[in-house]
């Protein structure tokens, strides 16, 4: 039989499609694997009697402390390693100084204690930042028109200690104040909490994708359109992200986060190539909302796109992903 030829001559002996021919061979040579171990589930906490629905985040609800314990049990049973907690603070508990963040019986501390009692093997992560608690919606205290860095860091250290005393496993500072990782590490170690890990939002950008999250925690109205560009990173900068990550590692961060996620995969890759530490990305509320909205309109296959985006984080170099899709993805990944 004559050999098949094309205008370019004979076909090459190397055919990359051979390994794509069957499902079993595609699985056998797959370079990047997504598993339930890669997922962190962010959850919003509310007081009894307050609204649970978040219209801009279909499928994501604010949960009461009782409800979040049930969610934690579901996460633990399906194999999700950790959940991250964010409070919806009632307006009457907010003030310019964010004092509710230091209340040892605030929503986050109640939730931490309840979850660790019910699910001791589930990791619990808590945010350190003042934006859910301040009447102006900023991540630190305002002095004039600017967020005061060093004074804010002192308050954040107190907030971290309150959460550590409640039993949190990981503190994840999202405030982007200079020097806060070193200060937090010193404060925690000084009080005997050297086991509490620091997962730093090391490269957090001043992004337009945060809107639905601010709806969920009730800070959008307080912020009233004000910018966080004086402390969150400029979206045009990449070298600066490496400086931020290097400083946080030097100051004692155990793990680092890049936020937002998909629009900043180049940052994930650069961090991965430069530092030998666990790197996480946060698939944030705006990313989640866009996929949900497109799927609801029939424009995208929800599950396929959800899993494809999560795989993209792993392919870029992430150790894991913070995602509101965590439970949905885990159910698919663990299905028999």
Tell me the C-alpha distance between 335 and 307, whole Å: 14
Cα 60 to the chain's mean position, in Å?
A: 14
Question: SS3 for 47?
Answer: coil
How many Å from the N-terminal Cα to the C-terminal Cα in the chain?
Answer: 46
| CA separation for the pair 2, 61 (Å, rounded) | 65
Structure tokens at 3: 């050999």
Distance of CA 26 to the CA centre of its chain: 31
Closest by alpha carbon to 211, among 54, 100, 329, 40? 54
Q: Choose among 71, 35, 36, 39: nearest CA to 52.
A: 71
Sign of the Cα torsion 272, 274, 276, 280 reads: negative
Tokens 């705006």 label which residue? 286
Task: For residue 81, report the phi and psi dihedrals to the nearest 5 degrees.
Answer: -70, -35
**CA–CA distance, 139 with 149 (Å, rounded to integer):** 10
Catalytic residues: 204, 259
DSSP 139: S
CA separation (Å) from 85 to 142, 163, 178, 190, 329? 25, 11, 23, 25, 19
255 forms beta bridges with: 199
């Amino acid at each position: 039989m004559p050999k098949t030829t094309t205008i370019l001559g004979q076909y090459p002996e190397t055919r990359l499609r051979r390994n794509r021919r069957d499902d079993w061979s595609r699985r056998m040579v797959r370079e990047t694997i997504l598993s339930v171990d890669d997922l962190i589930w962010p959850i919003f906490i509310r007081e009894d009697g307050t609204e649970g629905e978040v219209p801009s985040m279909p499928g994501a609800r604010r949960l009461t402390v009782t409800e979040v314990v049930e969610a934690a049990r579901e996460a633990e049973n399906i194999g999700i390693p950790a959940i991250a907690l964010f409070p919806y603070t009632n307006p009457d508990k907010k003030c310019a100084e964010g004092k509710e963040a230091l209340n040892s019986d605030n929503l986050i501390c109640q939730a931490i204690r309840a979850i660790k009692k019910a699910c001791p093997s589930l990791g619990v992560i808590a945010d350190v930042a003042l934006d859910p608690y301040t009447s102006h919606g900023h991540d630190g205290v305002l002095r004039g028109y600017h967020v005061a860095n060093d004074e804010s860091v002192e308050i954040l250290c107190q907030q971290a200690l309150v959460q550590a005393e409640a039993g949190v496993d990981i503190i994840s500072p999202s405030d982007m104040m200079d020097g806060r990782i070193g200060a937090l590490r010193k404060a925690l170690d000084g009080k005997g909490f050297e086991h509490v890990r620091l997962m730093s939002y090391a490269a957090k950008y001043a992004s337009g994708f945060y809107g639905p999250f601010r709806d969920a925690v009730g800070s959008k109205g307080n912020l009233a359109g004000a910018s966080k560009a004086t402390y969150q990173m400029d979206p045009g900068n990449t070298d600066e992200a490496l400086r931020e990550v290097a400083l946080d590692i030097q100051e004692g961060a155990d793990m680092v986060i890049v936020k937002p996620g998909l629009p900043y995969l180049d940052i994930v890759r650069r961090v991965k190539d430069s530092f030998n530490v666990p790197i996480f990305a946060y698939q944030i509320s705006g990313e989640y909302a866009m996929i949900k909205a497109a799927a609801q309109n029939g424009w995208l296959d929800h599950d396929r796109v959800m899993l494809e985006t999560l795989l993209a984080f792993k392919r870029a170099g992430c150790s894991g992903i913070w995602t509101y899709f965590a439970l949905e993805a885990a159910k698919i990944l663990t299905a028999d």
